[in-house]
Amino acid sequence: MSRATAEAPANIAFIKYWGAREGSRALPLNRSISMTLESCRSTTTVEVLGDGRRHEILYADGDGPFGAAAGRFAERIRGHLAELLGWTGEAGLGLRVATRNSFPAGAGLASSASGFAALTVATLAALGHRPLERISPGELSSLARRSGSGSAARSVIGGFVEWPAEGDESKGEGNGGGDGGDGNDGGGTDDPRAAQVAPAGHWELADVIAVVEEGPKRVSSLEGHRRATTSPHYARRLELLPERLAAVRRAIRERDLARLGPVLEAEAIELHLIAMSSRPPIFYWQPATLAVLAAVRELRAPGLGLDAWATMDAGANVHVICPFGQASEVAARLLRTAGVRRVLRDRVGTGPRMHGDPEGGGADA
């Protein structure tokens, strides 16, 4: 096949990846666990132009027109294509890439996770490798993060996903559910590969995203990973993580949001505590971020009694995790919170798929 289109989703981390030994290779200093989303997606078409041709890279925001991608963004895509073409042994090949997101890029919604996951799947498909059928999820996860966007390693797998740290021994203990691939998946060492903890159908969780800021974040995650270890709180977080990881795995296994929720919130606050106390410090929050956090606590108060819990990535926006059945009410109430520009409704999803494939083809089964 010389042309292929793939879609891949963003993901929201329950346990955050924050701190990398080598940011450019996305070698994480800690394990993370995430939920793959469904609607926040990147769609990427890759066409083989031929030997010796220059890559052409096009980008469109939302439904807007395609234009040539420039600067750091185009450079990262070129770097990623070089990695993928090195892996397939076709280094001289020129490709035409056209990519768009279904959600605002660079707003703490993990557009690089979905973007690099979609780019990986579409490129390998265009080169004839049938990535969702013939490449194991673990291998795909390893290939997806090579641009330096570590969270892309989790976006190629559907459902609930765990990604080890560099040097970790295979899978975390108590890691229930399907493993999503061959026996090597989840093996840590020097090439940490993500693996599925449970498929999407296991737990009907929604992610209602309160968007309070739409521009690109001021400090990249890459820079945040680099500075993380300068925070005096970083080492303490590492000490707390094994217990938290175990709690999240158990909460997923038992579909226990009352157990998951407090861990989600503690993780998000600590990620930002570390960012704010790094040297130099990084402030991602906006005043509206605090307003949404207060609103989420009110959603849980007796009277309303909704099962809604907040988490944030490296940005000002707040992801509110709740059961499918409560998402409409949570969304309506968040929309009425001061500073919320819009609300995106998403849910647990099944992972990447090829376009035109009626079976979906995600790595969720």
Judged by CB under 6 A, does residue 221 bind ligand DP6? yes
Binding mask 113-132 for ligand DP6 (x = CB under 6 A): x-------------------
**Backbone phi and psi for residue 328, each to the nearest 5 degrees, phi listed first:** -65, -45
* Cα–Cα distance measured from residue 96 to residue 133, given in angstroms and rounded to the nearest whole number: 23
Q: Is 231 in the site for ligand DP6 (CB under 6 A)?
A: no
104 touches ligand DP6 by CB under 6 A: no
For β-strands 93-101 and 56-61, DSSP reports them as parallel
In the Cβ-directed half-sphere of 327, how many Cα atoms lie within 13 Å?
17
Q: Give the integer Cα–Cα distance in Å for 190 and 182.
A: 18
What span, in angstroms and rounded, lies between the C-alpha atoms of 6 and 125?
Answer: 8
CB of 307 to ligand DP6, least distance (A): 23
Query: Among residues 4, 6, 13, 57, which is the contact residue for ligand DP6, using CB under 6 A?
Result: 13
Coil, strand or helix at 299: helix
Phi, psi of 61 (to 5 degrees): -90, 125
Say whether residue 146 binds ligand DP6 (CB under 6 A). no
In angstroms, give the least distance from the CB of 60 to ligand DP6. 19
Return the C-alpha torsion angle 220, 226, 136, 34, nearest 10.
Answer: -70
Helix orientation angle between 327-335 and 287-300, rounded to the nearest 10 degrees:
140
Which position among 5, 30, 32, 136 is part of the footprint of ligand DP6 (CB under 6 A)?
Answer: 32
x/- binding map, residues 276-315, to ligand DP6, per CB under 6 A? -------------------------------------xx-
Binding residues for ligand DP6, rule CB under 6 A, total 17
The yes or no reply on residue 112 touching ligand DP6 (CB under 6 A) is yes
Q: Where are the alpha helices (DSSP H) in 127-256?
A: 131-134, 137-144, 152-155, 221-227, 234-254
For residue 149, state whether it binds ligand DP6 (rule: CB under 6 A): yes
Note whether 140 binds ligand DP6 by CB under 6 A: no
- The least CB distance from residue 22 to ligand DP6, in Å, is 12
Helix, strand or coil, per DSSP, at residue 290: helix
Q: Which region among 96-104, 108-116, 177-185, 352-360 touches ligand DP6 (by CB under 6 A)?
A: 108-116
Tell me how far, at minimum, the Cβ of 208 lies from ligand DP6, in Å: 18
Interacting residues with ligand DP6 between 234 and 253 (CB under 6 A): none
Interface residues with ligand DP6 (CB under 6 A)?
A: 13, 16-18, 32, 110, 112-113, 149-151, 221-222, 225, 271, 313-314
